[in-house]
Amino acid sequence: MNKQEELEKESWDHVQQEEDPELHESDLLWEEEQAELDYYERRFGLAERTYRNPRMPKNEKQRFEMHRAEIQALSEVAGLENVWEITYTPARFEGIFLRNSLQPFYEQDQIVDVMAQVKGGKEANVYRCRAHPSMEMEWIAAKVYRPRQFRNLSNDAMYREGRQLLTEEDGRPQAVRPRDDRTVRAVNKKTAFGVQVRHTSWLMYEFSALQTLYDAGVPVPKPYGVGENAILMEYIGDEQTAAPTLHEVRLDDEESGPLFERTRQGIETMLQKGFVHGDLSAFNILYWHGDIKLIDFPQVVDIHTNQSAQDVLRRDVTRVCQYFRRYGITASPVSLAQELWDRFAAADPDDLAADLSRLSIEELEVELDGEDQYDSS
């Protein structure tokens, strides 16, 4: 027995001698919760590529086991790196989640290499990848969500309102079945599995919205595939540089009018499909060779189920109008947002009358009084 093995044995013996019997019950509960999590990971195919916040160890034994699991995970990643070499040199911790997140696209012959990071954000990084020959294109973009512990989302509850929970099955978004009470409870209780479901649902919702909007003719990158932690989509740019955002360029005077109209039409078509972008501005509109692409849709809002949809639309339109105002375009954001909402999103008067008819006289008076206060503000 070498010195390292002796030290490990002494550490383990020390654990066994000093373990607190009162922790036995909590350890059993933790094992039951872990078993449930493992069940759902196998059910949804998450076992090999799941990121979750580890449960804090309660004693030396758990710390020992956690350390051993971390070493095992690093060993597996090291083996993966030997199989799939990439040109891009990731940062120390970036390489682990980057390779794991893109592995499904590599296995499905969609990408063969990662060349460069072209955008870094609070939620995700975007990489320029070399596409597999079967994709019939040279470059393709991979949006890789950062691990949950490194993300910095604010007020995401507002955007989640009215959304259906989605999971990933065989590279496609799949709605969580209404009868799956255990998943819903896990999400509500914010267990490790519940947090993972919310994370995956956030990404699947963006991919689903991209598919719908691209098919409807909205200027967005074409989506090609989705994994548990990444989206594969059309790359805008060339080998030297990715497309800049509107915020980074100076438009020619003759371009500003047509591009403002194209943006307005994109917002209009989104409304027709029941969506508001949720974070639209010059920072989320790419410019390339005289055309634009709207990007970044994780915060997309459903106008039929989200009570904040009209306010979010007004904010998006205001930001767009503020950018184009520098080019002499003086559209009123308040009037434009109201016009778009009234044409494509406002409730049908007959439906509203039917809803109001179900209210009692007292409730109706409160409803009308509230509207009068809003109009006078």
Q: Please choose, from the candidates 147, 197, 146, the residue with its C-alpha nearest in 3D space to the C-alpha of residue 175.
A: 197
Number of Cα atoms under 13 Å in the Cβ half of residue 122: 4
Residue 21's φ and ψ, nearest 5 degrees, are -60, -30
pLDDT at position 268: 96
Mean pLDDT by 10 residues, the chain (377 residues): 55 47 52 56 49 57 58 51 73 81 91 94 90 94 78 56 57 59 62 63 83 96 92 96 95 95 97 94 96 93 90 96 95 95 75 47 46 43
Backbone region of residue 155 per phi and psi (left: phi > 0; alpha: psi in -120 to 50; beta: other values): left
pLDDT at position 172: 61
- Residues in the chain, how many? 377
pTM (2 decimals)?
0.66
Give me the residues paired with residue 234 across strands: 140
Distance (Å, rounded) from C-alpha 233 to C-alpha 225?
Answer: 7
pLDDT at position 375: 45
Would you state the structure tokens that stand for residue 21, as one six-digit string? 């019997």
Residue 220 CA: distances (Å) to CA of 72, 199, 212, 321, 369:
41, 23, 10, 19, 42
Distance (Å, rounded) from C-alpha 82 to C-alpha 78?
Answer: 7
pLDDT at position 296: 92
